[in-house]
Copies of this chain bind each other. A is one copy, B any other.
């Protein structure tokens, strides 16, 4: 995906969204009409950059860490936006404070030519924030001017690295907040979900240090990958085994399912082994024909031990 640049005017909810590591918008205007500013929440991609504008200043920039998801209005908004719908779009963002605060009004002459003609976040005439604007797309030129004044580097690589580091934990924290605020869940359910997600978060982080993508399909987009235990969670004797990054693979969801059910495994050289229970037709339907499956990649010694367990104890042969 091509990296996009966004600008958010979020004066009212600025504090909560920066602290929570997300953006949240209603899905429609109070009238029920669609708004491009809210539709943009659906369009933002992981890796996109967002400038946070509030009270005439840009103090934070962030990297989108996952696709938007339908989610209830955060309870920490309190009375703010009481006319907003209860369900909206939640976009996880990893925010960073800028070394220098940027004041767009002070650089208006320089940036005015780069403000978008439609859906501009601020007025080219006086730099006042546009009343209705929330999330709006800006060009690379405008972004670069802000980055220069804010004294931060924003190459794709550098931001990706920054985002990669706390990607999962920050995202988990934001989602945890939203689980806590979901009034449709009992306290027991919340605790369970938070615990389950936390585990996947930490485990997934550990696996991501060992594996780069799905060994079967070649997929590397984190949104399309699951951190799958090699030796199953319930068979692990220690918490250490349960969280060991060497005891995991990043797999596409259907590959994870097959691996979990013992319908596929890997030999010592990384070749995919397929159970007799899967028919040729099913492999075809699952898009796992021989020509599509990735070339085998070697495993490290710790992974080998877990894989031996999987071949012996889980694989259905």
Contacts and interface: CB of A to CB of B under 8 A. Distances in A.
A256 B39 CA distance: 24
B192 A70 contact: no
- Using C-beta atoms within 8 Å of the partner chain, give the interface range for chain A: 35 or more
A258 B67 CA distance: 12
Contacts of A269: none
B188 A234 contact: no
Contact of A43 (B223, B312, B317): B317
A30 interface: no
Nearest to A294: B285
A189 B316 CA distance: 27
Contacts of A257: 224, 226, 253
A68 interface: yes
A1 B277 contact: yes
A24 to B, nearest CB: 15
Contacts of A87: 235, 313
A117 interface: no
Given A67-B262, A286-B219, A287-B292, A316 B188 contact: no
Interface string A278-312: 01001001111000100000000000000000001
Contact of A261 (B27, B69, B254): B69
Interface string A78-121: 00000000010000000000000000000000000000000000
